[in-house]
Amino acid sequence: MSALSQVRYKVRDALRRDRTFNHTIIESDAYLQGTHSVHPNELDVSHGPVLYLEDISVSFDGFQALNNLSLYIDDGELRCIIGPNGAGKTTMMDVITGKTHPDSGQVFFGQTMDLSQMAEHDIATAGIGRKFQKPTIFPEHSVWENLELAMKTDKGVWHSLFTVLSAEQKDRIEEVIEIIGLQALYFSKADLLSHGQKQWLEIGMLLMQDPRVLLVDEPVAGMTHQEMDRTAELLTSLAGKHSVVVVEHDMDFVRSIANQVTVLHEGSVLAEGTMEEVQNNQKVIEVYLGE
């Protein structure tokens, strides 16, 4: 292990939830005594990471899709996850979003929210948004209406479109339309958008819920180079305000946005570091990049 990776390993080790857990217990006591303001079910990132996956294992009919996977995502960071087909990248997102329950291990949102005990819908409401590969936009509605519907997911489509928006809600829609760069297409039917524009619209719909964490699985598949560049700008601009976790195979794209990169292989972390570090990692070259 290089000196740098040793330091990184130590930092990561120090961040493990079980290592910081005593502190959390003390805090929970403080909460019970009314001396601390964080409710156990509110997001508490006062000790760093926003997402903690620790020793997560998932198997499907005896096949080990995740194997003692440990991963920590910081508040506001942009993290790329790469790795060969079948490495467990999508399964990892399924565990975070509550679609798949781990056989063992812990998955926490902040210090206090145990995601393994929460239903998918509650996890989404708590602030973890996920973009699937196939956009789930409403094709017959305009860009504006799609964002409006995303803001009021608890109501039916017709009810939502007939309730009057507050000035604040309108401002938020306009703000998101600008973030996703579809200002010129306010009233266009979503079905008529290009492939890339549909993907950005879906990201915009997630943003209407103001998620703390955004998970995006293979966002640039099928995009033109121009659309990829625009997506890189978009995701980079979201980091800071949101934590963004991007799974992607396109290495040029990863290189264009990557800060920290995690390489998964056979359900575990094979390497972690800057793009340059993982690209030069012999194990990574053997199992993935050398293909």
Residues 33-92 interacting with Mg ion (rule: CB under 5 A) = 89-90
> x-or-dash pattern for ligand ATP, window 112-151, by CB under 6 A?
----------------------------------------
Closer to ligand ATP by CB, 38 or 87: give it.
Answer: 87
With tokens 């936009």, the residue in question is 137
Per partner kind, with CB cut-offs from 5 to 8 A, the member of ligand ATP, Mg ion, none near residue 87 is ligand ATP
In this structure, the number of other CB atoms found within 10 A of the CB of residue 223 comes to 18
Location of structure tokens 């990557």 = 258
Is residue 97 near Mg ion by the rule CB under 5 A? no
60 binds ligand ATP (CB under 6 A): yes
CB of 148 vs ligand ATP, minimal distance in Å: 32
Q: Mask: binding to ligand ATP, 4-43, rule CB under 6 A, as x and -?
A: ----------------------------------------
Is 265 a residue that touches ligand ATP (CB under 6 A)? Answer: no
CA atoms within 13 A on the CB side of 1: 12
- Cα separation, 280 vs 286, in Å, equals 10
> Residue 254 interacts with ligand ATP (CB under 6 A)?
no
Three-state secondary-structure class, residue 204: helix
**# binding residues, ligand ATP (CB under 6 A):** 11
Rg (CA), the chain: 20
Give the residue from 26, 19, 18, 53 showing the smallest Cα distance to 268: 53
Smallest distance from ligand ATP to CB 128, Å: 17
DSSP codes of every residue in 111-154: TTEEGGGS-HHHHHHHTEEEE-SS----TTSBHHHHHHHHHTTT
CA–CA separation, 115 vs 106, rounded Å? 8
91 touching ligand ATP, by CB under 6 A: yes
